[in-house]
């Protein structure tokens, strides 16, 4: 596992998550609880939860990075 921890994420910042070969780029909208976040996709502008992205676990390629 590489990159940053979920606890380092900040509202209004942009991030890229790679998990099981899928890449997601999003902005953090709201912290909902200890380990869940409301996100907005940077391309489709769809809102979803972090738990939806990692509901099948963290793959070998799991990486979370801030985008500048």
Out of 1.10.287, 2.30.30, 1.10.3210, 3.30.450, which CATH number does the structure's domain 2-67 have? 2.30.30
Query: Does residue 38 register a pLDDT over 90?
Result: yes
pTM above 0.85, yes or no: yes
pLDDT at 7: 87
User: Averaged over 43-61, what is the pLDDT?
Assistant: 93
More confident residue, 3 or 37: 37
Q: What pLDDT sits at residue 3?
A: 83
Instruction: Give the position of tokens 């676990």.
Output: 57
pLDDT band at 63 (very low <50, low <70, confident <90, very high): very high
For the cut 70, the answer to whether the pLDDT of residue 31 exceeds it is yes
Give 35's contacts (C-beta < 8 A, 6+ positions apart): 6, 50, 51
Question: Which sequence spans correspond to the domains of the chain?
Answer: 2-67
């Amino acid at each position: 596992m590489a990159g940053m921890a979920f606890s380092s994420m900040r509202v209004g910042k942009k991030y890229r998550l790679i998990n099981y070969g899928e890449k997601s780029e999003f902005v953090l909208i709201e912290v909902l609880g200890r380990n869940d976040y409301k996100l907005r996709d940077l391309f489709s502008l769809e809102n979803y939860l972090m738990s939806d992205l990692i509901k099948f676990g963290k793959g070998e390629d799991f990486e979370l990075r801030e985008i500048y």
